[in-house]
Homo-oligomer: A and B are copies of this chain.
Amino acid sequence: MHDTAPTSTTVAASPSRVARFNGFQEPSELDEATRRQIERRAQILAPTYQLFYRRPLDLASGSGAYLYDVHGTEYLDMYNNIPAVGHCNARVAAAVHAQMLQLNTHTRYLYPSILDYGERLLSTMPAPVDRVVFSNSGSESNDLAVRVAQKHTAAMGIVVTENAYHGSTAVGAAISPVTRAGAPSAEFPWVRTVPAPDPYREGENAAARFAADVGAAIRQLQEDGTGFAGFVADMVLSTDGVVTHPTGLFAPVLELVHAAGGVFVADEVQSGFGRLGEGLWGFARHGIRPDIVTMGKPMGNGFPVSALAGSREVLDTFGREVTYFSTFGGSPVAMAAASAVLDEIEERGLVAHAASMGARLLDGMNELRHLDPAIGDVRGSGLFTAVEYVLDQDTKEPDPRRALEVVARMRDLGVLISNTGLHNNSLKVRPPLVIDESGVDRYLEVFERICRERS
């Protein structure tokens, strides 16, 4: 979803940017209707918009783990994590519709659903997390997390991984080097980046090296007068390449963060709500208790809703000094959507389902990996999996070209995925949680076919 990133907040335009993104580039081999729609986009939408695939999809409908284009072609969706309980989930749609006809307002009036949902959400969190703030997007919740951490510590410095993505607000982008938005660096001089752990290359040393780098970044912030406010990390390090193992990676970091008086923010926007197949949250897999947890994307299955859960202590200064109000955040309709999603996850046992489908997916890919000499690593947890391509099994030099080729080939064979990572050389395979055996097997058949084309 994102291109390569700089290793510091000083950003220079890169000529290779477009080439590594799974993006539409030129209107070749397109039918007339698609070409016309792409031209309309250029006339109406700002130049910030990008399309997936060499041949973009013109979608008409969705259902469960499947999307359908205007020609009636079916696509197995192995990419989208937002419709976690299924494209066009009828229960979520009905809950939203019923609530829109009953009451929709904001949090300066009383209504119980925000409390019922808030209580339910907090019951899934370990101490010290015991309070919640609702917003409309993971971006808004991560932006708020930075503000809360900075207020709590009366310091500015934030440490993130070098290809992190945490959102699209100004401050969200500042802590998202993958967006290249750190520039001008004078704007947000308080952001420091460290290379994410890369267990595939670093082996057992990954966790220790990562912690050492975080420690050095913290010391640097303390010494240069910026001060250290907090550490923010995606609990599956998605844009850094999807790092699911070993677990425990963040435990030493959390210790360093707390020893320095900082706030540990676990970004669960991508990893949360059961996707990893072990409980609802990614941080728990790493055996840590964060100070702040942010979430979004699948929370409302496509209805815009997000949350920041944090400890009373960390939220205290911000709560006293700043007026924060989100017009739509935590509205009765947002709570109806989010509650229906949790109902679906619980009643359909989707966390355990993600674990079993994820195991089937991972086992299947591991059995097939020998067919393609460019496959360097296959990894995953639950339904967040990745396949990393390399030019050489020994040097492990990244092969983004092969990854992009596989993404494009899959699209032509009716399966949607994308690529990710610092070097954009990993497949991101991350279907709606409701995918069943037949969906996984269909993916594996296509994966096998593409592997065999190479071997």
| A→B interface (CB under 8 Å) | 1-3, 13, 34, 37-38, 40-41, 44-52, 56-62, 67, 80, 82-83, 87-88, 90, 92-94, 96-97, 100-112, 114-115, 118-119, 122, 131-133, 135-140, 143-144, 146-147, 150, 154, 156, 168-173, 178-181, 183-184, 186-187, 296-297, 302-305, 308, 310, 312, 315-316, 318-328, 331, 333-334
Contact = CB atoms under 8 A, between A and B. Distances in A.
A2 B142 CA distance: 23
Contacts of A323: 2-3, 48, 50, 178-181
B110 A61 contact: no
Nearest to A121: B44
A319 B13 CA distance: 12
Given A82-B105, A136-B136, A173-B322, 11 more contacts: A1-B325, A46-B132, A47-B131, A48-B323, A52-B108, A62-B103, A139-B327, A144-B168, A179-B324, A180-B322, A303-B333
Contacts of A168: 135, 140, 144, 324-326
A109 B46 contact: no
Contacts of A119: 40, 44
Contacts of A88: 100-104
A2 B322 CA distance: 11
A334 B139 CA distance: 17
Contacts of A131: 44-47
Contact of A324 (B48, B51, B106): B48
B180 A59 contact: no
Contacts of A133: 45-46, 48-49
Given A51-B109, A96-B100, A327-B297, A44 B181 contact: no
Contact of A48 (B48, B181, B322): B322
A82 B100 CA distance: 13
A103 B87 contact: yes
27 contacts: A13-B320, A13-B321, A45-B107, A45-B115, A47-B316, A58-B111, A60-B103, A61-B103, A67-B103, A83-B105, A87-B105, A93-B101, A96-B96, A136-B137, A140-B168, A143-B170, A150-B187, A154-B184, A169-B170, A169-B171, A178-B323, A179-B322, A179-B324, A181-B322, A181-B323, A302-B331, A303-B333
Oligomer copy total: 2
Contacts of A80: 105-106
A169 B184 CA distance: 19
A331 B59 CA distance: 12
A281 B327 CA distance: 20
Contacts of A45: 107, 114-115, 118, 131-133
B107 A100 contact: no
A181 B147 CA distance: 9
A449 to B, nearest CB: 24
A186 B52 contact: no
Nearest to A300: B328
B109 A100 contact: no
A301 to B, nearest CB: 8
A90 B101 contact: yes
